[in-house]
Every structure is written in structure tokens, then in C-alpha cells.
């Protein structure tokens, strides 16, 4: 499959490519996409042979608005710096890119149009690095056990946030949720399976105009609340 990408170079009008779970795709194959100057979206989910080196080929596609690199396990902070030229990028999915840290997120600070990011299962992320991404409206930090109450305090600096997914985070408590009360734009908060959260968390959210849906799913010893 990887070698076949060379034949796409003639399709200069192509705007969207989905290569989800094409495990033979390598960095070198991405170089064949250089002629696709109108590319706005690329999905490389599960292309586990893609490394930081391959992202240099994506960095030249300044028309890109959406990139999905979920389950590209070799991507690290160094690779993110090669995406810093994508001024039109609005969405990036880095789910399960376990080598990405808070320091790496700072390398995306030049992306002033970036509004959505998924960092689910990125276990080096504590949320501190997100303060560099001021345009964000949607953040997925689910199943991210390095996220703590202290990290959530930094989300207060993101004044445009409307959606936060914190589900399956075992270190987030009511105290962390209290920090989110200062985000006036927040509309959706997912706290499913956050076993340290209690119904008292609702008290911290009383200054938010609309928070719908607010999802709680406690463990067997706690009562669910909506």
C-alpha cells in the first residue's frame, strides 16, 4: 500500500486522504504527497511506522486544517515542531501518542487557529502545556492519568473553551473541577468514571451559565448525579 501513494501525486485537486490503519505507510511514503498543495485533511490513525521525520512532509502542506495522528506511537515532541508552520490547522488528534509531553505542546503555540485537540491516553501530558494554545475551544484529556488538579488550574487561561473531556481520569478531584468554574465559555464537561469526583463538584460550577450535558458516572460506591 505504501508504495501506491506515488500514484496520488497526479491528483493535484485532492483535498482529503484517509489512511487509517495502513500499517505499511512509512515516512518516505509521505514525501509522495508533496504535489497535493490543496490538501486540507489527512488521517493517519494507526500508521505506526510514521515517525517525527515523516511530519516534515506534512509541515509543507500549509492548507491543512485537520490532522489525525492517533496511535502513531513514535511521534514525539520533536515531531510537533515540524507542524508549527500549519497556520490554517484547526484540529489535531494525538490520541495515544505516548511520547508527547507538555513541552511539546508549546511548539504548537504558533497555530493561532487551532481550536480542537485530543490528548487522550497521552500519559506524559499534565495539562500544563495547554496554556500555550490560547485559541482552543475543545480539549480531550480522557484516560490521561497524569492530569491532576494542579494541571487543570492552567486551563483557566483558555478563555474560549466550550468542551472538556476528563473522563476516566483517576487523579482529578472536586478541587480540580473548581478551577474550571472560571471558564465562563464552558458548556460541556465530561467527568465519567472520574472516581474521585463527588456531587459536591456541582457546587463549583454554579457560575457557569450553561453546562449541558454534565455527565457523572460514579463507581459502585457512589451515587450518579446529572
Q: According to the model, what pLDDT value does residue 202 have?
A: 78
- The domain ranges of the chain are 1-125, 129-226
Q: According to the model, what pLDDT value does residue 214 have?
A: 57
- 209's grid cell: 451559565
For 28-52, the pLDDT digits (tens) are 999 988 888 899 999 999 999 999 9
CA distance 39 to 24: 21
For 161-181, the pLDDT digits (tens) are 999 999 999 999 999 999 998
Q: According to the model, what pLDDT value does residue 1 have?
A: 53
- 204's grid cell: 463549583
- Higher pLDDT pick, 224 / 13: 13
CA distance 108 to 158: 15
Q: Do domains 1-125 and 129-226 have the same CATH topology?
A: yes
For 109-157, the pLDDT digits (tens) are 999 999 999 999 999 999 999 999 999 999 999 999 899 999 999 999 9
| pTM of this structure | 0.90
User: What strands, in cross-sheet order, belong to the sheet with 163-165?
Assistant: 16-18, 41-43, 66-68, 91-93, 116-118, 138-140, 163-165, 188-192, 214-217
From the number of C-beta atoms within 10 Å of its C-beta (0-12, 13-18, 19+), residue 220 rates as exposed
Q: According to the model, what pLDDT value does residue 211 have?
A: 45
Per-residue pLDDT, averaged over 2-10, amounts to 72
Percentage above 70 pLDDT, the chain: 89
For the 1-125 domain, the top CATH level (class) is alpha beta
pLDDT band at 220 (very low <50, low <70, confident <90, very high): very low
160 conformational bin, left if phi > 0, alpha if psi -120 to 50, beta if neither: alpha
Collect all residues with Cβ–Cβ distance below 8 Å to 157 and sequence separation of at least 6. Answer: 131, 134
Per-residue b or e along 6-39, where b marks 16 or more CB atoms closer than 10 Å to that residue's CB: eebeeeeebeebebeebeebbbebbebbeebeeb
pLDDT band at 8 (very low <50, low <70, confident <90, very high): confident
Measure the N-to-C terminal CA separation of the chain; round to a whole number of Å.
Answer: 48
Mean pLDDT of all residues belonging to the chain: 88
- Higher pLDDT pick, 3 / 176: 176
Q: What are phi and psi of 158, to 5 degrees?
A: -95, 90
CATH superfamily, domain 129-226, is: Ribonuclease Inhibitor (3.80.10.10)
- 15's grid cell: 483535498
Secondary structure class of 16 (helix, strand, coil): strand
Q: According to the model, what pLDDT value does residue 13 have?
A: 87
- Higher pLDDT pick, 4 / 40: 40
CA nearest neighbour of 182 among 212, 151, 197, 161: 161
Amino acid at each position: 500500500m505504501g508504495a501506491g501513494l506515488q500514484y496520488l501525486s497526479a491528483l493535484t485537486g485532492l483535498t482529503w486522504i484517509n489512511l487509517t490503519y495502513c500499517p505499511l505507510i512509512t515516512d518516505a511514503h509521505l514525501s509522495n504527497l508533496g504535489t497535493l498543495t490543496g490538501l486540507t485533511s489527512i488521517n493517519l490513525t494507526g500508521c505506526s511506522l510514521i515517525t517525527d521525520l515523516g511530519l516534515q512532509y506534512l509541515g509543507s502542506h500549509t492548507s491543512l486544517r485537520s490532522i489525525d495522528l492517533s496511535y502513531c506511537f513514535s511521534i514525539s515532541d520533536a515531531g510537533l515542531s515540524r507542524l508549527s508552520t500549519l497556520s490554517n490547522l484547526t484540529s489535531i488528534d494525538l490520541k495515544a501518542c505516548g511520547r508527547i509531553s507538555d513541552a511539546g505542546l508549546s511548539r504548537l503555540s504558533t497555530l493561532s487557529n487551532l481550536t480542537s485537540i485530543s490528548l487522550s491516553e497521552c500519559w506524559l501530558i499534565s495539562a500544563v502545556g495547554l496554556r500555550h494554545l490560547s485559541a482552543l475551544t475543545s480539549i480531550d484529556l480522557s484516560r490521561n492519568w497524569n492530569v491532576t488538579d494542579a494541571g487543570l488550574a492552567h486551563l483557566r487561561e483558555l478563555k474560549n473553551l466550550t468542551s472538556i473531556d476528563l473522563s476516566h481520569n483517576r487523579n482529578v478531584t472536586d478541587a480540580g473541577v473548581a478551577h474550571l468554574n472560571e471558564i465562563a465559555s464552558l458548556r460541556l464537561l465530561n467527568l465519567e468514571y472520574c472516581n474521585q469526583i463527588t456531587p459536591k463538584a456541582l457546587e463549583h460550577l454554579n457560575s457557569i451559565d450553561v453546562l449541558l450535558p454534565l455527565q457523572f458516572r460514579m463507581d459502585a460506591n457512589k451515587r450518579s448525579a446529572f
